[in-house]
């Protein structure tokens, strides 16, 4: 299935193929692909890998007469692992470029490796604005987080959701997205009742959702990393927010295409905004 992360990976590989061919390149150019293939964020890893495979199936594995070899490594979504693997790929495997990084901390951890080795890295998933200044060797083919949040803020006010609680995962992307939503929502005339941040590691959303219910807003605006959206949605229903008439609005990470079918009826009525949907009606998407 084509999802937003599949497309981002394909775009990254396209750029990688162009950048990775210096004049002194060897006959085979290795690209180290570092992804969370296991753990709670494995859906991101699977989709990026699918994007790489899709691109190479359509375009082959040769650029400017050089063969491209993609070396996949699983970091399990742990930053220390990401950095160690990056070092091994550069030093032991001779990778001329790195690619992937499912979460902001994973991308951030690689910056020192890039700066020392002076090789480029394509970010296919991590969205925080603070990543890019860490190394001049980063290129990002994915989105910036607020891109998905700002249209939801405008939609909310236009649909008479004037009082909102924001609930985001407490790390770079969540803070970026919270700020993007809040700035636009206030600009359009809305009121933020409360801003709640949830720990990224081992999140239990139930107590935070109870705070939302107690605040009695028109809606809760949420961001959680793709992969734990189903857990969030279930607890939203279990805590009775839907029954209390508190609308759920969110970025598309919460209802990502490859996770949506597994959520079932709890996803009905949720409004999310994103830069891509598998159902987008266009000739390019159908192709």
Q: What is the pLDDT along the chain (287 residues), one digit of tens a residue?
A: 455 555 555 556 665 554 444 444 448 999 999 999 999 888 889 989 998 998 999 899 999 889 999 999 999 999 999 999 999 999 999 999 999 998 889 999 999 999 999 999 999 988 888 899 999 999 988 788 888 999 999 999 999 999 999 999 998 889 999 999 999 999 999 999 999 999 987 678 999 999 999 999 999 999 988 777 888 888 998 999 999 999 999 998 888 777 777 788 888 889 999 888 888 899 878 87
Please check whether residue 108 lies inside any domain of the structure: yes
Please check whether residue 279 lies inside any domain of the structure: no
Question: Is there a single domain that holds both residue 8 and residue 135?
Answer: yes
Q: For residues 122 and 15, give the distance between their C-alpha atoms in angstroms, rounded to a whole number.
A: 8
Q: What is the pLDDT, as a whole number, of residue 13?
A: 61
Please check whether residue 282 lies inside any domain of the structure: no
Which residue range forms the structural domain that includes residue 150?
Answer: 146-273
Q: What is the pLDDT, as a whole number, of residue 6?
A: 57
Please check whether residue 283 lies inside any domain of the structure: no
Q: For residues 195 and 220, give the distance between their C-alpha atoms in angstroms, rounded to a whole number.
A: 10
Q: What is the pLDDT, as a whole number, of residue 1?
A: 46
Structurally, the chain folds into a number of domains equal to 2
Q: What is the CATH number of the domain that holds 241?
A: 3.40.50.2300
Domain boundary among 74, 108, 140: 140
Q: For residues 231 and 89, give the distance between their C-alpha atoms in angstroms, rounded to a whole number.
A: 34
Answer yes or no: pTM beyond 0.95. no
Helices of type H across the chain: 4-19, 42-59, 79-91, 104-117, 146-158, 172-187, 206-215, 229-238, 257-260, 283-286
Please check whether residue 284 lies inside any domain of the structure: no
Domain boundary among 140, 167, 193: 140
Q: For residues 59 and 15, give the distance between their C-alpha atoms in angstroms, rounded to a whole number.
A: 13
Please check whether residue 287 lies inside any domain of the structure: no
Please check whether residue 133 lies inside any domain of the structure: yes
Please check whether residue 169 lies inside any domain of the structure: yes
Question: Is there a single domain that holds both residue 25 and residue 136?
Answer: yes
Q: How far is CA 233 from CA 80, 243, 249, in A?
A: 30, 13, 11
Domain boundary among 103, 119, 140: 140
Q: What angle do CA 250, 102, 209 make, to 5 degrees?
A: 30
Coil, helix or strand at residue 98? strand
């Amino acid at each position: 299935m084509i999802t937003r992360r599949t497309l981002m990976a394909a775009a990254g590989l396209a750029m990688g193929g162009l950048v990775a061919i210096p004049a002194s390149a060897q006959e085979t150019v290795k690209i180290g692909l570092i992804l969370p293939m296991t753990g709670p964020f494995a859906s991101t890893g699977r989709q990026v890998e699918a994007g790489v495979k899709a691109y190479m199936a359509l375009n082959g594995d040769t650029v400017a007469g050089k063969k491209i070899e993609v070396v996949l490594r699983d970091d399990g979504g742990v930053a220390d692992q990401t950095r160690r693997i990056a070092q091994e790929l550069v030093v032991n495997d001779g990778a001329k470029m790195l690619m992937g990084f499912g979460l902001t901390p994973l991308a951030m951890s690689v910056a020192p490796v890039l700066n020392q080795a002076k090789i480029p890295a394509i970010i296919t998933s991590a969205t925080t604005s603070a990543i890019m200044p860490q190394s001049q060797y980063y290129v990002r083919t994915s989105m910036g987080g607020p891109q998905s949040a700002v249209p939801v803020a405008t939609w909310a006010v236009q649909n008479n959701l004037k009082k909102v609680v924001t609930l985001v995962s407490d790390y770079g992307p969540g803070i970026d997205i919270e700020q993007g939503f809040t700035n636009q929502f206030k600009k359009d005339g809305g009121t933020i009742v409360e801003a709640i941040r949830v720990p990224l590691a081992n999140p239990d959303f139930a107590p935070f959702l109870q705070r939302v219910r107690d605040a009695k807003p028109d809606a809760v605006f949420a961001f959680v990393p793709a992969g734990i959206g189903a857990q969030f949605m279930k607890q939203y229903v279990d805590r009775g927010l839907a029954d209390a008439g508190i609308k759920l609005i969110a970025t598309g990470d919460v209802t990502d295409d490859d996770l949506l079918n597994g959520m079932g009826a709890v996803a009905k009525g949720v409004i999310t905004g994103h830069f891509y949907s598998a159902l987008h009606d266009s000739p390019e998407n159908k192709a």
